[in-house]
A and B are shown apart, each in its own frame.
Chain A
Amino acid sequence: MPKSYADLLREARNQVAEVTPAETDALREGGSATLLDVREDSEWEQGHVPGAVHISKSYIEQEIEGAVPDRNARIVAYCAGGVRSLFAAQTLRDMGYTNVASMSGGFQQWKSQGLPWSSPVVLSSEQKQRYSRHLLIPEVGSAGQAKLLDSKVLLIGAGGLGSPAALYLAAAGVGTIGIVDFDVVDLSNLQRQVIHGTDRIGEKKVESARRTIANLNPDVKVVAHDEMLVADNVDRIIAGYDVILDGTDTFETRYLLNDAAVIANIPVVHASVFRFEGQLTVFQPYEGPCYRCLYPTPPPPELAPGCSVAGVLGVVPGIMGMLQANEALKLLLGIGDTLAGRLLLFDALDTTFTELKLRRDPKCPVCSEAAVAARAAGKPLAVATVGADEPFVLGSVAGFGAPGARS
């Protein structure tokens, strides 16, 4: 027997529970239900319920299992007026979702009752295409992509670590990338510093990086800081950034950056490399340890030569720099678990990753409660400074240059 629209609607009403916008809002506030917006993209872009998951009705069957894997999860579907969501809820029931309701009156009634709604940043059609592989991931989606486009990441150094990190962050659509580097591109950099090229030798690294990024993704604004990070400019340079990537190669800069970033409460994604090995972690101020908690005092120069003295397999900073970009993206998107409190060691010769547990030092002169109180009182605690230790004699480590010869 053929069925009319009225028959189908009656059937759906009989099978699917309906909840009012006010009841839906209470569920949303309590975090006990997933709100599923089943309208078309163009409707979603003009405004939606905050926190709702968006799957157009025509994609429900294909995408719901990825977005809501739990068949017993409480789901409230909504559309513009409350009809399409009834049919969508029926589909979900057929797929075995046991706890599905439809919001009566739809988004129109939701808005007319003065309930909260937000309009997402609308991506251009070109951006939708450029970032389509991000938009397909529920954890990123258009809201996450908009967040990235609105984010600011500062790279300290456009070298071995900074090059791959900058490329992937730019490709990902991080809207503002600051780069601090006072150096020029040298032929010996090109074995690993892949953001530069042979035609850039002699060019300022910040300019070379800006050109590469502009070609890769014109959405990205590059802020070039063509200067050395020093005590006099560190606070000014790091201000306003959401995440900092530490890719320097001197302890002076690493400690300077740490102390300023802790005070400014900006997370630092830290990586360092030596020959075939790398270290990586996230310093999340006041939540996890800082660099001084991990290494209270810098080692003597002989025990920590930089790449120009000790050498490095080019792919090692490549891998570590990309892992830094990964941590930065998670911090910006607020997804996953970062490496805060964990130190990841990479060994390229064995191809092994090892994880060590890091803790906050309760006596840390920079990030402990006592340090915060001392700063508030205008009397910061003393910190160990680089080069202040006793001269360090080390005759047996072959192949390293003179103390201080780092870059």
Chain B
Amino acid sequence: MSAVWIPPVLRASVGGEKQVAVDGASVRELVSGLVTRFPTLKSQLLTEEGDLNRFVNVYVNGQDVRYLAGLDTPVADRDEVRLLPAMAGG
């Protein structure tokens, strides 16, 4: 199980939780597990082709998966995964 940190704008889609525990050996499996459980997340995280939307960053243990292996980045048990879209407020 890995803890996926849900940013504030997406929390309403996961029942208000800040962290969701999901099973999966890669970012792809985690995201897929998430959108299966919380279908409204799908259009927010993924493009129609199934890629990560460019405005959502995903970090595994503080590292941007775009510079690791993207959706195929491996995730081990107890790794910390963060979804992070940009914020506008000032």
**Interface residue ranges, A against B (CB under 8 Å):** 157, 159-162, 246-251, 254, 271-279, 294-300, 303-307, 310, 312, 317, 345, 354-359, 361, 384, 392-399, 406
Q: List 30 A-B pairs, Cβ < 8 Å.
A: A157-B90, A160-B89, A161-B90, A162-B90, A246-B90, A247-B90, A249-B88, A272-B89, A274-B8, A274-B89, A279-B87, A294-B57, A298-B86, A299-B53, A299-B56, A303-B10, A303-B85, A304-B87, A304-B88, A305-B88, A306-B89, A310-B9, A310-B89, A317-B89, A356-B82, A357-B64, A358-B64, A359-B67, A396-B40, A397-B9
The interface residues of chain B lying within 8 Å CB-to-CB of A303 are 9-10, 44, 55, 85
What 8 A-B pairs are tightest by C-beta distance, nearest first?
A: A299-B55, A272-B87, A396-B40, A249-B90, A295-B86, A307-B89, A297-B54, A304-B88
Near A by CB (< 8 A), chain B positions 1-39 give 7-10, 12-13
Q: Mark out the residues of chain B between 60 and 90 whose CB falls within 8 Å of any chain A CB in the assembled complex.
A: 62-64, 66-67, 82, 84-90
B9 lies within 8 A of A273 (CB): no
* Interface residues in B, total, Cβ within 8 A: 28
B55 is contacted by which of A250, A295, A310, A359 (Cβ under 8 Å)? A295
CA distance A341 to B72 in the complex (A): 24
Tell which of B10, B40, B64, B89 has the most Cβ of chain A within 10 Å: B89
Which one, B13, B64, B67, B86, contacts A299 given CB within 8 A? B86
| A249 x B89 contact (CB < 8 A) | yes
Give Cα A396–Cα B38 distance, bound, in whole angstroms: 10
- Which of A161, A297, A356: most chain B CB closer than 10 A? A356
Give B5 Cβ to nearest chain A Cβ, in Å.
9
Interface of A: prevailing SS? loop
> Which chain B residue lies CB-closest to A255?
B86
- Bound complex: CA of A254 vs CA of B86, how far in Å? 11
CA distance A296 to B52 in the complex (A): 12
Residues of chain B within 8 A of A277, CB atoms compared:
7-8, 87
B62 surroundings in chain A (CB, below 8 A): 354-357
Kindly identify which residue among A310, A317, A356, A398 contacts B90, using a CB–CB cutoff of 8 Å: A317
- A160 contacts B12, CB within 8 Å? no
